[in-house]
Structure 1
Amino acid sequence: MDDLMQSPSSSWQIKCLEPGNLSLSSSDTSGTASSTKVKTSSPRKTPKKTPGKSPKTSSGLKLGAASPSSSDRFIPSRSAIDFDLNQFKMVQQQQLQNHEDEINITQREKQNIMTQNLSGEDISHKRILVFQNKSPSPLECHQNSLKVPFSHLKNLPLCKRPSRLIPQTPDRILDAPDLMDDYYLNLVDWNSNNILAVALSEKVYLWYADTGEVKQLLSLEGNAYVCSLAWTPDGVYLAVGTSTTVVQLWDCSAMKRLRILDGHTSRVCSLSWNEHILSSGSRSGHIVHHDVRQQLHAVAVVQAHSQEVCGLKWSPDGSYLASGGNDNVLNIWPNISAQLQRSSNQPLHTFRQHQAAVKALAWCPWQQNLLASGGGTADRCIRFWNCSSGTCLNSVDTKSQVCSLLWSKTYKEIVSAHGYANNELIVWKYPTMNKVAELTGHTSRVLHLTMSPDGSTVLSAGADETLRFWKCFVPDPAKKKAESKAVPSVLQCVLR
């Protein structure tokens, strides 16, 4: 029994005998549980109620989860922390606190250099711990549908205003049977009275755009055919060049032929008016100037080209005449009075940059000395010329045969008609020569272009024997409304 009482103490008794863990209320150390009073003291007391935790039921289960907002700590984002920079900053701050008086100017300069090498910027405002990642920078022109407050969006440039809508399909299509597939001819023209003249083989038809009525003006006899058409500026008379070497002058209001103008030895494939002067070009390379007021109408004859004169255009003010030939040459001529005074029939300028026939010619309506010219299949270029100085301003390779050119009266744009191999119309922005629209639909090359008197519609005539009307240059409604409001005030001033 004594051996049992003197047996080694249990582990819990040994633990309780350690200082601070056991307090004996009596001097009895016999080891029985009944003779001792144990008072345990924990070095860390647990509060009776933890903040943010819900009370317990009798069964000991929680009535709800802790709210995230009641978190008692912040966890830094390790991915957003620069540990090297923060280590240096902590050491720097400790040195400044402990040895502020001992650090001389040289040591401060070294620390500044180290700071710049580490970050490349001022670190005085940087935090050692980062608890939230920065918002990502938005992409350029990013449309923020979630309305995230990106201040970077305020500095973005405004989006460019979209270009006007140009219909990709023609407004109207008319059949033109027997329209000759000949690159060198000029078979359509639209006058100021809204009447369209079209040459179909040996016949000429008039289409009245206001009513849609069609009338036949003339029909040549035998194997003759019509080669060119040109209205007078007032839209009353129509000049008709034929394959029989003559030019016929018609009064379309009376449907009557007025006279026949001769002077050529081969077909007349190009015509152009300058007030009362009618200039005509033929396959022989000659240009004849006709004064329709005189009985002896041929006032001047010029050997302009070595081959057919397929392009002929007077400038709007009558100062220059441009002639293009199948010899790949473009000539610029002075007005008639200057040509008559010159001792020799030499042009003002001769341009030989084109590598094919020069048929497409167009004078700019807002710059009198600016001429656009287009070359055939071997050239495919549109070139712009300053006819005052005789310099080439620009050249654009269109990748397709250039058959005709027209300047817009409403916008600073130019439209070109193409043959091999794309058979399309292209609207270009001048002077950048960016494509505004590509109009397709013709199944064969587009040989001729002409414009309505209001400048809104372009008519194209193709070798597929169709006439197509394109609404290319419809005026801006806001601008048109402003102009219409200004007209009455001008009239009122005149009446007063």
Structure 2
Amino acid sequence: MQEREVARRISYRRFRRRILRRRGEGAPVASTPLSTRRRCFPCAECDPVRQRLVLDSPTRDSEAATSSCAGSEHDGTGDPRPFALLDRMSGDPQSEEVMKLAAPALLNDYYTNLLDCSCHGVLALALGSAVYLWNSETQTLEGSLQPGPHIRAPAERSYLQRQAVSSVRWSRDGRLLSVGTRQGHIKLWDVEQKSKVMSLQPHLSTVGAISWKQHLLSSGSVLGRIHHHDPRAPTPLVGVALQPDSVCALDWSPGEERLASGCKNGSLCIWDGDIGGVSRERRPIVTMRQPSAVKAMAWCPWQRHVVTTGGGWKDGALRIWDVQSASCIDSVQTHSQICSLLWAEERRLLVTGHGPPRHHITCWTWASPSLRKSLQLAGHLDRVLHVSSSSGGGRMFSAGADGSICVWDV
């Protein structure tokens, strides 16, 4: 027994001495002691293998060069840059999809409004705490609006997540972009100058939706408060309203005489054009209800007393409402979550973006009182959270939870 212990100690001393000698020679060093039963001695056959592995491994300089070459389409994390081209259709006349662009880390939140197209064809897309601007005419990325520097520290990253953008909306002349955040802040940006014009009085919760009425900006929060701001006034907050639950959607009618607000509890509230005042208690002139949250909502451009809503995953119904009679005049069951919708006035189409099970886009024609499906588009692998269109109506844009933007020729 003692002889075994002595032999083990001698073997360990030899092993340690060999490790120290090889470390001085610059050779690889084992991470753990070798077993005394199967001792391994240096062999000339191992050296060519070791040298070949070193030669085949890329150097730090080559890695940096590769990273810089890929920098045009990828960021530092390996994700594609916003609006990087992922796929382009080859001119197939049977396909309506023109191209697919990257929207990395697009927030998969049903209650956000992160995509909007200006009257000049500039797309605003919110990714995290930044808003990226892409010109659909020239197909180029024009820049981004950044509230602060890019931060990687975990504690500071969580701060930026709290500052994430929850809604964007262009002014009707396409000059100003309004940006609402999860912390309730509302900022106006002059896009041509790439500068912040002003910060409006914040909400106490997430800004869920924004809508413009000429120079008047209306914003709705998760706490159900609707603020009306006039940036030209010395005190921009000029009116306040309160609805029963979270504001999911907000939209002024084409004639700007009524404001429609969607509620998380399924209420569709219609307000008159008199914004009242800060201290005045206001009530909607009409309230209609559906079984799920009113998030997908839009006014019909050529029937100014008609507003359309889409149901969530428990409902799935597309409804057309007459606000004068406070009634639903038409509805169709889509058997799918309706995440977004818009009216394409020039084409007289109603476009809906869907969630499970197929994540498709559907185009509808409406000749009162019948609503008929005319076209179905497939291009996303996850739910279509946002849809928008160019001012001429020829191009349509959709952003999905799969991290992509599809450009459609409708």
Which residues of 2 match residues 413-492 of structure 1 at below 5 A? Answer: 413-431=349-367, 432-472=370-410
Q: Is the 8 A contact 1:166 1:471 kept in 2?
A: no
For 2:388, give the aligned amino acid.
Answer: T
Deviation sequence 1:372-395 (CA, Å, 0-9, x none): 111111111111111122221111
Deviation at 1:357, TM superposition (A): 1.1
Cα distance in structure 1, aligned partners of 2:384 and 2:200: 30
Corresponding position of 1:335: 273
Give the drift of 1:220: 3.4
Aligned to 2:334: 398
- What SS is found at the alignment partner of 1:453? coil
Deviation at 1:361? Answer: 0.9
1:230 counterpart = 2:169: yes
Please say if residues 428 and 436 of structure 1, whose CA atoms lie closer than 8 Å, have aligned partners that are also in contact: yes
Write the letter of the residue equivalent to 1:244: Q
Amino acid at match of 1:302: A
Aligned partner of residue 385 in structure 2, secondary structure: strand
| Match of residue 193, structure 1, among 110, 114, 120 | 120
Structure 1 Cα separation of the partners of residues 278 and 293 of structure 2: 30
Aligned to 1:47: none
Q: 1:343 to 1:218 in 2, by over 3 A?
A: closer
Q: Could you tell me which of 316, 322, 326 is aligned with 1:386? A: 322
Shift of 1:169: 4.2
Q: Which residue of structure 2 aligns with residue 281 of structure 1?
A: 220
CA distance in 2, matches of 1:340, 1:296: 12
**Which residue of 2 is the match for residue 349 of structure 1?**
286
Matched, 1:259 2:198: yes
Q: Which residue of 2 aligns with 1:317?
A: 255
TM score, norm. by length of structure 2: 0.71
Matched with 1:178 is 105
User: SS of 1:238's equivalent?
Assistant: strand
3-state DSSP class of the match of 2:108?
coil
The one-letter code sitting in structure 2 at the alignment partner of 1:207 is: W
Query: Structure 1 length normalisation: TM-score?
Result: 0.59
The structure with more radius of gyration: 1
Secondary structure in 2 aligned to 1:435?
A: strand
Deviation at 1:260?
0.2
Distance 1:193 1:385, change over 3 A: same
User: How far is 1:343 from its partner?
Assistant: 6.2
Seen in structure 2, the aligned counterparts of structure 1 residues 217 and 369 have a Cα distance that, compared at 3 Å, is: same
Write the letter of the residue equivalent to 2:337: Q
Any idea what the Cα deviations from partners look like across 1:98-117, whole Å, max 9, x if unmatched?
xxxxxxxxxxxxxxxxxxxx
- 1:463 maps to a residue whose letter is A
SS of the residue aligned with 1:336?
coil
1:463, 1:343 → 2: CA distance?
A: 40
Distance 2:96 2:409 in 1: 9
Task: Please report how far the alpha carbon of residue 166 of structure 1 lies from its aligned counterpart in structure 2 after TM superposition.
Answer: 8.6
Structure with greater proportional strand content: 2
Paired residue total: 305
Correspondence for 2:147 among 220, 244, 251? 220
Aligned partners of 2:288 and 2:327 also within 8 Å:
no
Q: Which amino acid aligns with 1:231?
A: W
Q: CA deviation at 1:341?
A: 11
Q: Does 1:271 align with 2:210?
A: yes
Distance of 1:355 and 1:168 partners within structure 2? 36
The runs of 4+ residues in structure 1 deviating greater than 6 Å are none
Cα deviation, 1:358-382, whole Å, max 9, x if unaligned, reads 1111111111111111111111111
Q: 1:322 to 1:458 in 2, by over 3 A?
A: same
Alignment correspondent of 2:58:
none
Q: Cα–Cα, structure 1 residues 299 and 443, in superposed 2: closer, same or farther, change >3 Å?
A: same
Measured after TM superposition, the shift of residue 292 of structure 1 is: 1.2
CA distance in 2, matches of 1:317, 1:424: 31
Indicate the RMSD between aligned Cα atoms, in angstroms: 1.8
Three-state SS of the structure 1 residue aligned to 2:304 is coil
Question: Does structure 2 conserve the Cα–Cα contact (< 8 Å) formed by 1:203 and 1:216?
Answer: no
The CA distance in 2 between the partners of 1:212 and 1:283, in whole Å, is 35
